[in-house]
Chain A
Amino acid sequence: MSDALKGISVGCTDAEVYVRVAGRGTFQNSQPLRRFALDMVERGYKVFVVDLGHCLGMDSTFLGVLAGIGLRLRQGTNGGRVHVTNVSPRNLELLQTLGLDRLFSVDEHAGASANAASPADQDFQQLPESDVVDLKAPLNKNETTDLMLEAHDNLTEADERNIPKFKDLTKFLRENIARRRGGPPPQDATS
C-alpha cells in the first residue's frame, strides 16, 4: 500500500468534505477523524463523502464516529448527510448490521467520490495518527474511553436495535468513567 493510501486522508471543496479511509478504521484512528469532522461541521460543511474503496474493515467505534457525523448533520435544517461510497460487500454488511445504511446514503461504487467536484489526489492530506499500523503516540486511556462510549452511544441513537449489542460495553465504559470522576456507578436501564 503506498503512502498515499494509508490511514485517513481528507480533502475539501467549497461545499463538500471528502474522507478516504485506507486500511482499517478502528478506535485507534477514530479520534483524528472525529476532531476533523467536528471542525468541518462547525465551519458549516453539510455534506461528507466517505470513500471506503481501500478500507479493509471498520470496528464499531469507527462506525460510531461516522454515525456521530451523520447524526449531527441530520440535526441541521439544510439536509446535511454522509455519503459512503466504494463500499465492499463486507463493509456494506457491517453498515447494514448496525442500521447505518439508513442514516447514510450508501453507494457500492465510486459514486460521488468520483465526480468532477472531488478534490484532486494531491489535495488530500493524511490526518496525523490515522494509520493504525504506524501510530507514533500511545493512546490516551481517558480520551479513548470517552471516545468509545460516545461512539457506541451514537450507534444506539442511530438504531435502537444496537442497544443489546453494545450494552455490556457501554455499561463497562460508563462505570470506568464514573469511577474516574469519583461519582456513583451509573444507572443502566439496559441491564
Chain B
Amino acid sequence: MKDFRIEREGRGPVQLVRLSGSLDMYSFPRLETQLNTLFQQGHYCVVLDCRDLDYIGSAGLGALIGFAKQAREHSGDVKLLNVPERIYKIIELLGFTKVLQVHNAEDAALGAFARA
C-alpha cells in the first residue's frame, strides 16, 4: 500500500492539489486539514488531481461533497481531475459524479472555474 501524499501548487486563482496513494479514513484527515487551510486562506477554487490515487474510501468521498458545498457557498468549488477508471466507476455508480465535477484534462478543470 502506497503512502498517501499531498502536493499543492497555485495555478492563478485555482489551487491544484495532487493526491497519491490511498485516501482512506487513516489518511483523509491530512486532506481535510489541507482543504480547511486553503479555505481559511480564502482559496475556494480547488482541483484535486487524483491521477496517482489508488484508493478512495466511502467516508472520504462523502466528506468531499461537504467541502465542495462549502466552496460553492464562496463562489468556488472542489473539482476532481484524472480520476483513475476503477475509482471513477465506483463514484459514478454511487452517484457522486452528480455532485462532484470530474475532469480528464487539467486545462478543462482549471478552465471550468473561469467559465463559472
Interface SS, A side: helix
B66 near A168 (CB under 8 angstroms)? yes
C-alpha spacing A148/B94, complex, angstroms = 10
Residues of B within 8 A of A102 (CB): none
Query: Per a CB cutoff under 8 Å, which of B25, B26, B58, B63 touches A27?
Result: B58
Q: Mark B22-55, 1 if CB is under 8 A from A, else 0.
A: 1011100000000000000000000000000001
Residues of A within 8 A of B24 (CB): 57, 59
In the complex, residue of chain B having the shortest beta-carbon distance to the beta carbon of A164: B66
Please provide the chain A residues from 150 to 166 with a CB less than 8 Å away from any CB of chain B in the complex: 152, 165-166
B26 near A93 (CB under 8 angstroms)? yes
Interface size on A, residues (CB 8 A): 30
A168 near B63 (CB under 8 angstroms)? yes
Of A33-41, A105-113, A120-128, A137-145, the one touching chain B: A137-145
- A61-B58 contact in complex given A141-B94, A168-B65, A172-B65, C-beta closer than 8 Å: yes
A-B contact count (CB 8 A): 68
C-alpha spacing A58/B1, complex, angstroms = 13
- A141-B93 contact in complex given A94-B26, A168-B66, A168-B69, C-beta closer than 8 Å: yes
A169 near B62 (CB under 8 angstroms)? yes
B94 near A56 (CB under 8 angstroms)? no
Q: Which of B22, B25, B90 has the most CB of A within 10 A?
A: B25
Expressed in whole angstroms, the minimum distance between the Cβ of B25 and any Cβ of chain A is: 6
- A169-B94 contact in complex given A60-B25, A60-B57, A148-B58, C-beta closer than 8 Å: no
Given contacts A94-B25, A152-B59, A169-B63, 13 further A-B contacts (CB under 8 A): A26-B57, A27-B58, A59-B25, A97-B25, A139-B90, A148-B58, A148-B94, A168-B63, A169-B65, A170-B62, A172-B95, A172-B96, A176-B94
